[in-house]
Structure 1
Amino acid sequence: MGWIAVLVMVSVAIALIAFRVLRRKGRDDGDHGASSVDFSANLALAVYLLVLAYAAVLCRDGLSVSEADVQAEAESLTEMYWSVAPIPEAMPVRSQIRQYTAQSIDLDWPLMAGREMSPIPGQTLADMRATVLGLRPVGEESKNLQQDTLDRISEVSHARIVRSDDASTGLESTFVILMIISGLLVIALPWTLGVRPTRSSIIADLVRVGVVVIGVCFIILISHPFSGLGAVEPDAFKAAQRQYDQIDGRFPAQP
């Protein structure tokens, strides 16, 4: 949000300075070099729109991939809970699965907006693996469930690494720089004619400034999958918590 405020203030300042200078020193409207300037401005506009569209597609794809990764991790947690539920001696594992899920929601998500992850859920996951390895299940079926639980823990561990990678990535700064440069050209090129502003030209200038600023701000707002517009929320993890309650109903806790 800080970048957006700076961008808006800089754009407004540039427009005000340009209007003030052109009003004092600009000449009356004419055709001096207008055709070449119009061509350059249109070319800059085409480049700006192309970069804007490509950046929007990349951001949308990043959001979709991150959302799918979060959903896959939540599904692995649910399947893990199903695996341990029939094992009477695995009650501590149930508690650790719930603990990991809650910690991911409460600790990870606020930090992921800043491209970080909390170390606490990772430690809980390691403790969970140790607890499962320490189980001594009776019967072939319980042993198979124990192995399946270990496999699910590996899946969750990998999914957590993927989620960390998703949180640490975002739109390349190159695209933002290109958008700003091409946007500035779109705004400033018509002013190089040195024509004194009129009511209609001021309206056109404001429209150009608005289009450029809104476009860049929109891309910045969707450039990170866990912050801004359309950010991935922990809804899949919250749904997994509700699934745990349903599984407990089928496999009540053993005294």
Structure 2
Amino acid sequence: MGWVAVLVVVSVAIVLIVFRVLRKKGRDDGDHSSSSVDFSANLALAVYLLVLAYAAVLCRDALSVSEADVQAEAESLTEMYWSVAPVPEAAPVRSQIRQYTAQSVDLDWPLMAGREMSPLPEQTLMDMRATVLRLRPVGEESKNLQQDALDRISEVFHARVVRSDDASTGLESTFVILLILSGLLVIALPWTLGVRPTTASIVADLVRVGVVLIGVCFIILISHPFGGLGAVEPDAFKAAQRQYDQIDGQFPAQP
């Protein structure tokens, strides 16, 4: 959000300065239009729109992938809860699964917008694995459930690494730079003719500036999957917490 505010303020300041300079030093409009300038402006517009569309697709793909990764992690947690639910002595594991899920929602998500994650949930996962290993299942079925729980913990470890990678990445700065540069050309090329602004030209200039500014700000706002517009929310983890309650209803935890 900070970059967006700075970009808006700078753009408004530049436009006001250009209008003031052209009003004082610009010449009256006549047959001074240049076909080369028109061609260059149209070319810059085509490049701007191409980069804008490509950046939007990349951001949307990153958002979809991150959302799918979060959903997969929540499903692994739910399946792990199912695995340990029939084991009478696995009540501490249930508590740790709930703790990890809550920590991910309360601690990880506020940090992921800044490309960071809390170390506490990972420690909870390690404690959870140790707790499952210390279980002494009786019978083949309980042993299979224990092994399945260990497999699910490995899946959650991997899913957490993937989520960390998703949170630490974003749209490459190259695209934002190209977008800004091509947008500046779209805005500035008509001003190189040095024509004194009229009401019609001012409206056209404001439309160009507005279109470019909205496009750049939109890309900046959706450039990170866990921050800005359309950010991935921890809804899948909250849904898993509700499923834990349903599983407890079928397999009440024993102290």
TM bucket by the smaller chain?
Answer: over 0.9
Normalised to the residue count of structure 2, the TM-score between the two structures is 0.99
1:139 matches 2:144: no
AA at the equivalent of 2:102: A
Question: 2: CA distance between counterparts of 1:192 and 1:30?
Answer: 15
- Map of 1:93 onto structure 2: 93
Partner of 2:166, secondary structure, is helix
Q: CA deviation at 1:36?
A: 1.0
Question: 2: CA distance between counterparts of 1:63 and 1:241?
Answer: 23
Q: CA deviation at 1:72?
A: 0.1
Question: 2: CA distance between counterparts of 1:177 and 1:124?
Answer: 41
Aligned residue pairs total: 255
- Map of 1:56 onto structure 2: 56
Question: What are the residue-to-residue correspondences of 1:44-123 with 2, within 5 Å?
Answer: 44-123=44-123
Partner of 2:27, secondary structure, is coil
Question: 2: CA distance between counterparts of 1:198 and 1:34?
Answer: 18
- Map of 1:30 onto structure 2: 30
1:231 matches 2:241: no
Of the structure 1 ranges 21-30 and 52-61, higher mean CA displacement relative to structure 2 is found in: 21-30
Q: CA deviation at 1:33?
A: 4.8
For 1:98-129, what per-residue CA distance to the aligned partner results, in whole angstroms no more than 9, with x for missing partners? 00000000000000000000000000000000
1:125 matches 2:121: no
Partner of 1:111, secondary structure, is helix
Question: 2: CA distance between counterparts of 1:49 and 1:198?
Answer: 27
Question: 1: CA distance between counterparts of 2:181 and 2:13?
Answer: 16
Question: 2: CA distance between counterparts of 1:32 and 1:235?
Answer: 59
Question: 1: CA distance between counterparts of 2:131 and 2:138?
Answer: 16
Q: CA deviation at 1:253?
A: 1.4
For 1:122-169, what per-residue CA distance to the aligned partner results, in whole angstroms no more than 9, with x for missing partners? 000000000000110111100000000000000000000000000000
Question: Any gaps of 5 or more consecutive residues in structure 2?
Answer: none
Partner of 2:32, secondary structure, is coil
- Map of 2:190 onto structure 1: 190
AA at the equivalent of 2:8: V
Question: What are the residue-to-residue correspondences of 1:202-221 with 2, within 5 Å?
Answer: 202-221=202-221
Question: Any gaps of 5 or more consecutive residues in structure 1?
Answer: none
Of the structure 1 ranges 30-39 and 220-229, higher mean CA displacement relative to structure 2 is found in: 30-39
